[in-house]
Structure 1
Amino acid sequence: MDCFSYRGAELYAEDTPVEAIVERFGTPCYIYSRKALETALAEYQSALAGCDHLVCYAVKANSNLAVLDILARQGAGFDIVSRGELERVIAAGGDPAKVVFSGVGKRPEEMAFALEQDIACFNVESAAELEVLAAVAAEMGKVAPVSVRVNPDVDAKTHPYISTGLKENKFGVTVEEARQVYRRAAQLDSIAVVGIDCHIGSQLTEISPFIDALRRLLALVDELAGDGIELRHLDLGGGLGVRYADETPPAVADYIAAIRRELGERQVKLVFEPGRSIAANAGLLVTRVEYLKPTPAHNFALVDAAMNDLLRPSLYQAWMDIQPVRHRDGSEDASWDVVGPVCETGDFLGKARQLRLEAGDLLAVSGAGAYGFTMSSNYNSRPRAPEIIVDGASIHCARERETIADLMRGEHRLPD
């Protein structure tokens, strides 16, 4: 189901005209579809039916409380990388017993808080982290459930900034080191070894890298079993890509089916950590054209959203579709660079887009539900945009637009 579609010339979010949302909340503005979020999560749950599993939504993709609430109500677990994300999950009604804690730099106080909440598992990313976690748990009289994040040295064939499974990446431990880390973990009274974890990158559009990584993990699982270390769950991370332009990522059902075929008769709980594939195409960023600036070299459409609102095009050179909220009759399309007001040449949402524009028009940037608002900033002292949830014909303000006063809260001038 496409939850963002045109009815005649006008773009709708579910059963709500996008123009009506903008009239109420202004621009720039993030709009999310509840139906799209629920449908994307349900694809994973359906594909995993019949086997022990846990789908842990990656909070870093979109951490809005309303988004987390929607997914928690549908039975999702959560993949977190900070105490702040765990606090968000709890505030949104998520179950800590369905939380896995990833990330390479967990602080002792974060570990302690997560232990107090009785989370499902810590994804340990180094031998040093294991020792700190063991000490924190022992001091608290707790036993920390752990899996070791293994870096299988598999090329995910994605942007280098979101490739995480190569030996030169900072994440996880090598297959060779992992066996030693597991042996050490098994010796620690305050550690319970429960699983193995792997995440090779984001925006993957082929199944083969996942299978390559899985085979390397399974070989290690068998070696560990020979050491007397039995693992109860296999966490394959996330990373399944979505369509932004002409990508053809596998369907969730095909991806999960390939994993299950490779596992055969192994009895192990499957854990996945999808983020982008649940949230990306559940969201739009809507922006208004402030000025048109034709030049001999380029036609610039100057809009009120900027790189501080949506960083992906500037940071990753990511292509995101940009379409009018209302199709305009009359003049011919022209090629436009859609750029923002931030004082950086890298401040753009899209280049060389064929659009029929006039000042005041609204544009919708698709695929903005993941790594959109969550990566936004206040650069140039710009307040962050509101986040709106659409549920059929109902509109819910999930985050109010920041004010200038919000930006300066907590700052202080020097005394006289």
Structure 2
Amino acid sequence: MHHFDLKDGALQAEGVSLEALAEAVGTPAYVYSTATLTRHYGVLREAADAHREAWGDALIAYAVKANSNLSVLATLARLGCGADTVSEGEIRRALAAGVPAGKIIFSGVGKTDGELAFAIQQGVRQINVESPAELDRLIPIAERLGKVPEIAIRVNPKIGAGGHAKITTGGEGDKFGIPADEAMALYVRAAASPHVTPVGLACHIGSQITDLTPLEAAFRLLRSMTEELRAKGQTVTRLDLGGGLGVPYVGGAPTASPADYVAMAARVLDGLGVEAAFEPGRLLAANAGVLLSRVIQITERADGRRFLVLDAAMNDLIRPAMYDSFHEIKAVRPREAGGHNAPTAYDVVGPICETGDTFARGRDLPPLQAGDLVVFTGAGAYGAVMSSEYNTRPLVPEVLVDGDRWAVIRPRPTYEEMLAREPMADWL
């Protein structure tokens, strides 16, 4: 299970006991594996390097939104990974973690003037422009700063894909990017300005994509647009292919492999002579993390329904409530199957005062008892980064494991610290 394996009857994260971590830091808690992060980056890097003839040294820019913890970012930065960012805060995180500015891409539909100025001053690799209005704001900012940032035009290919409507970003009605015909005209207009340098095109059509067909269609559109722009005398040296390749959440649809994904991209771009950028997020981080939780109680109803009540809640892991997402739930110390230990159907819920605080309904699990530890697998992406303090519940701590060593990389705040962040109005 991606470096989360049974040893002496209980799950470990690499060489560290999850039971010991639960005692040391409490539950719920996120636990990440350095070995898994390293392996996932290495698989994609190897695949990209196997097709250097298509794009040279392709940039892998990790999508910071997936898991923005500084130690996770630093782990990837030391492997040579860049960063795909969507806010000034994410740029600052990437820089603080050791990602060179020249490997940072700045995307997003609502960049403020201040954020654009910050990105230009830091010298990021490129700014992905997502609308004519953004270009109109960017040019005078660059002129005022006396710099000429390199930009890419983000194309909306009218090809939406992804594991849920809320994470589909390339459809005709989605807010992201510029329709192809308008993008062509905007590229030419940007090239006429002395204050920006258009270098390429970008697209990102969705997240948790399990079929390569829509991705290939989007990449083919980028190729044809590149050829048409060059025929008009424009220079196009980069294609930002976005991210979105799905990961194998247990219980979900089968996914294409990173090797097949990269090989498809190389086939589509063969002979074009562009630098390629890939922006994986979930692909690197999802299966590198688990959410560790403890059973508070089991509530049984007269109709036979059993509620497995955990100390983790939707404010800790919102994906099931927001996206109807599936996460496998595993006992940290599983009991032997058979006899009285036959699988039991549970509604798995948390303590939040919302019916939506439900992780699963009718999920068959080995019998569990109050005090047992469980993990949600595949929780390394869009887990802690989307958490909140709803119901005044402290943010979940994050732990990074590396072999036999571990460190708390975001501590659980105390209630006193939480309350101290809210100064009382001076008239109260």
Counterpart in 1 of 2:81?
A: 76
Select 1:306's aligned residue among 308, 313, 318. Answer: 313
Per-residue CA deviations over 1:129-185 (Å, capped at 9, x if unaligned) read 011111111000011110010010113153100000011000000011101111110
Partner SS, residue 163 of structure 2: coil
1:111 to 113, 116, 130: 116
1:352: which partner in 2?
362
TM-score normalised per structure 2 = 0.95
Structure 2 match to 1:13: 13
Other structure's SS at 1:110 match: helix
Helix, strand or coil at the partner of 2:169: coil
Partner of 1:314: helix, strand, or coil?
A: helix
Aligned AA (1:326): R
Task: Give distance in 2, aligned partners of 1:364 and 1:187.
Answer: 55
2 CA distance for matches of 1:264 and 1:82?
33
1:321 aligns with 2:328: yes
Aligned mate of 2:341, from 331, 336, 342: 331
Equivalent AA in structure 2 for residue 71 of structure 1: L
Letter in 1 for 2:176: F
The percent identity for this pair of structures is 44
**Is the partner of 2:222 in helix, strand or coil?**
helix
Deviating more after overlay: 27-36 vs 245-254? 245-254
Paired position in structure 2 for 1:273:
279
C-alpha distance in 2 between matches for 1:92 and 1:201: 26
* Residues 1:97 and 1:409: Cα distance change in structure 2 (over 3 Å): farther
User: Once the 2 structures are TM-superposed, how far is the Cα of residue 12 of structure 1 from its aligned partner?
Assistant: 1.1
Q: Tell me how far 1:246 sits from its aligned partner.
A: 3.8
Contact 2:33 2:289 (8 Å CA) reproduced: yes
Q: Aligned to 1:378, which of 381, 389, 401?
A: 389
**2:231 alignment counterpart:** 226
Structure 1: which amino acid aligns with 2:20?
A
Q: How far did residue 401 of structure 1 move? A: 0.8
Instruction: Check the 8 A contact 2:61/2:82 in 1, yes or no.
Output: yes
Instruction: Tell me the C-alpha RMSD between the 2 structures.
Output: 1.2
| Aligned-partner residue type, residue 22 of structure 1 | A
Q: How many residues align?
A: 416
* SS of residue matched to 1:166: coil
What letter corresponds to residue 176 of structure 1 in structure 2? Answer: D
Kept in 1: contact 2:162–2:208 (CA 8 A): no
Letter in 2 for 1:343: C
Tell me the distance in 2 between the aligned counterparts of 1:180 and 1:248: 39
Matches within 5 A, 1:107-186: 107-186=112-191
Displacement, 1:52? 2.5
- Per mean C-alpha deviation after superposition, the further-off stretch among 4-13 and 68-77 is 4-13
Q: TM-score, normalised to structure 1's length?
A: 0.98
Give runs of ≥4 in structure 1 deviating > 4 Å. Answer: none
Please list the CA deviations of residues 315-356 of structure 1 after superposition, one character each: whole Å capped at 9, or x if unmatched: 000011001000024533211111000000000222222221
Q: Secondary structure at the match of 1:79?
A: strand
* Residue segments in structure 1 that go unaligned for 5+ positions in a row: none
Q: One-letter code of the match for 1:394?
A: R
Work out the CA distance in 1 between the residues paired with 2:416 and 2:241: 43
CA contact (8 A) 1:33 1:282 kept: yes
